[in-house]
Chain A
């Protein structure tokens, strides 16, 4: 595994076994104490398969334990480790250093989220907007009451929404969205993609409820189709497309 030496403060003796190393710049910021963020720099060796998260955890283990980073699954499933890596919103556990093709790797907290500390941001608003669009199947009856004991779907029906069901709520799309940058009340691409995920589900009967929720002054119409959300999504969700489909319903092109 990669080892770490510091370029700030005292040099830590290292045995760099890997052939290559990069300069890892980590944004440090504690809103309660600091006026502005500053970068700590570390020289980190890496292998072909080393991820940015592993490099950050190496820094924590060997040099600066105080670096605040949120992670859990390490396999692009939990959605915890979103951050700006060389300026682009990415999952740290799903980004290999080797693929960045750069001698300097800069990690910063995601844009459009309040910074808790260093690389960790607050997700309250994302969870609020996600909840607001009612992210569950809405209908009066339940599987238990129906004769079939389950609501069957054809593969074609599943295809309508399954892409959108892959969302891991990592917030990278909201971080990339230019409207989110200035409109603090905007519902955001993550929630809009989830609104479409349920509207497009053949089992769901909550279409009108959800369309009403997103049809307000800081709702779906504040999307200007920059498309950045779809570019950064690590799970292949295409929020921009979902938003256009939802607009189709609202403009009467789809029903």
Chain B
């Protein structure tokens, strides 16, 4: 992929995250901080489909953004053909892994499997 395409995605995911994280925080503010973390409340949140879709989106956006950021940091830290390939593929694999694991939590909780 062209570096400019990757960086468009990087900036795009950052901007979209600002919006969605703001909504996320505002929704957390509808109840007190302690209440918000009550076991039953957390489960109830996960049952709400629109909220869960938003959480999933934040997960994807910030994983893409964060792991690309990590790739950039690592590419600037050290150079070399093998190292750079390992960094690029490693970051994609780790990103897919994190999204997979997070999605598993979100989907299982939403379906009442916990």
Q: Give chain A's interface residues, CB within 8 Å of chain B.
A: 179, 182-186, 215-219, 221-222, 250-251
Judged by DSSP, the binding face of A is loop
Instruction: Please tell me if the beta carbons of B79 and A184 are within 8 angstroms of each other in the complex.
Output: yes
Instruction: Please tell me if the beta carbons of B3 and A183 are within 8 angstroms of each other in the complex.
Output: no
A186 to B77, CA, bound (A): 11
A227 to B7, CA, bound (A): 20
A118 to B97, CA, bound (A): 50
A72 to B71, CA, bound (A): 43
30 contacts between A and B (CB under 8 A): A179-B76, A182-B76, A182-B77, A183-B75, A183-B76, A183-B79, A184-B79, A185-B79, A186-B76, A215-B2, A215-B3, A215-B4, A216-B3, A217-B75, A217-B84, A218-B75, A218-B79, A219-B3, A221-B3, A221-B4, A221-B6, A221-B7, A221-B72, A222-B72, A222-B75, A222-B76, A250-B4, A251-B4, A251-B8, A251-B11
Closest to B76 in A: A183
A220 to B50, CA, bound (A): 39
Separation in Å of the B85 CB from the closest CB of chain A? Answer: 11
Complex contacts, A222 vs chain B, CB 8 Å: 72, 75-76
Per-residue CB contact flags for chain B residues 21-32 toward chain A (1 = under 8 Å, else 0) read 000000000000
Closest to B8 in A: A251
Complex contacts, A217 vs chain B, CB 8 Å: 3, 75, 84
Complex contacts, A179 vs chain B, CB 8 Å: 76
20 A-B pairs besides A182-B76, A183-B79, A221-B7 with CB distance below 8 A are: A179-B76, A182-B77, A184-B79, A185-B79, A186-B76, A215-B2, A215-B4, A216-B3, A217-B3, A217-B75, A217-B84, A218-B75, A221-B3, A221-B6, A221-B72, A222-B72, A222-B76, A250-B4, A251-B4, A251-B11
A215 to B7, CA, bound (A): 10
Complex contacts, B11 vs chain A, CB 8 Å: 251
A183 to B72, CA, bound (A): 10
Per-residue CB contact flags for chain B residues 43-81 toward chain A (1 = under 8 Å, else 0) read 000000000000000000000000000001001110100
Interface residues of B in 1-40 (CB under 8 A from A): 2-4, 6-8, 11
A217 to B72, CA, bound (A): 8
A217 to B79, CA, bound (A): 11
A222 to B71, CA, bound (A): 11
Among the interface residues B3, B11, B72, which one has the most CB atoms of the partner chain A within 10 A? B3
Separation in Å of the B114 CB from the closest CB of chain A? Answer: 41
A222 to B84, CA, bound (A): 14
A171 to B22, CA, bound (A): 44
Complex contacts, A215 vs chain B, CB 8 Å: 2-4
Separation in Å of the B83 CB from the closest CB of chain A? Answer: 11
Separation in Å of the B49 CB from the closest CB of chain A? Answer: 35
Complex contacts, A185 vs chain B, CB 8 Å: 79
